[in-house]
Amino acid sequence: MLTAGLLLVVSDIIAFRMNIRLYSPTGDDGKIIAERIEGSQARRGDLVVVDIPQWEFRGPIMERVIGVGGDRVTCAVEGKVMVNGTPLDEPYVLNGVSNGLQRGYDVTVPPGRLFLLGDNRIDSFDSRFHLRMDQGTVPTSVVSARATTGTGALIPYSVFFGAGLIIALGGLIGAVIAWAKGRRRIVHVPSGIAVPHNWP
């Protein structure tokens, strides 16, 4: 049991380190929990971790998925971002600024690609600045992880980690008991025979 419990704990730690990361959004001192996903799993509204070398970024950044393949994304200089003719409700944008540029845009997202915007529209080098490159869209393959809300993504790892510790502890207790029993000796002394003081 001890070995099985320790193996469960170690495998859980490895899985956690492979699938869960902590990221700091640009200009934010806080941390966001992100879970590893395939790019094809990205959905509208997701805050995703992307690596886009064609945008001349070094390392991963976090962007919001606004449009997926087939979507038409538009925004006037003033007003909300529209997806397929419907205005987006974006409580996450900083100071309620939907555009932040002195020009609008009108993009149809090709299949297998994404249109990305930062949550700080006044200071975000996102799809709006790359409209000449595939209308600012990027392939889904640039996505490596998705931010999660709360600690829900951690629950499975916590459960397996706790179970592993319990199993390992049970195995350890069992091993100690077995060792203690092995140390005990049952000695039968015939009557009338003197037993030395240092008798085990």
In a domain, 16, yes or no: no
Mean pLDDT of all residues in 70-98: 93
The vertex-37 CA angle with 67 and 96, nearest 5°, equals: 40
In a domain, 116, yes or no: yes
**Residue 67: which domain range?**
21-149
What is the structure's pLDDT at 33?
A: 76
Average confidence score pLDDT of the chain: 76
* 63 strand-pairing partners: 48
Tens digits of per-residue pLDDT, 28-70?
545 677 788 899 999 999 999 899 988 887 778 889 999 999 9
Q: Give yes or no for residue 116 having a pLDDT over 80.
A: yes
What is the structure's pLDDT at 80?
A: 92
In a domain, 176, yes or no: no
In a domain, 10, yes or no: no
What is the structure's pLDDT at 40?
A: 93
In order, the DSSP letters of 73-95 are EEE-SSS--EETTEE---TTSGG
In a domain, 184, yes or no: no
In a domain, 7, yes or no: no
Report the CATH number that the domain containing residue 47 is assigned in CATH: 2.10.109.10
Report how many domains make up the chain: 1
CA 47 – CA 39 distance, rounded (Å): 12
In a domain, 121, yes or no: yes
Backbone angles phi, psi at 178, to 5 degrees: -60, -40
What is the structure's pLDDT at 88?
A: 95
Task: Provide the whole-model pTM.
Answer: 0.65
In a domain, 140, yes or no: yes
What is the structure's pLDDT at 181?
A: 72
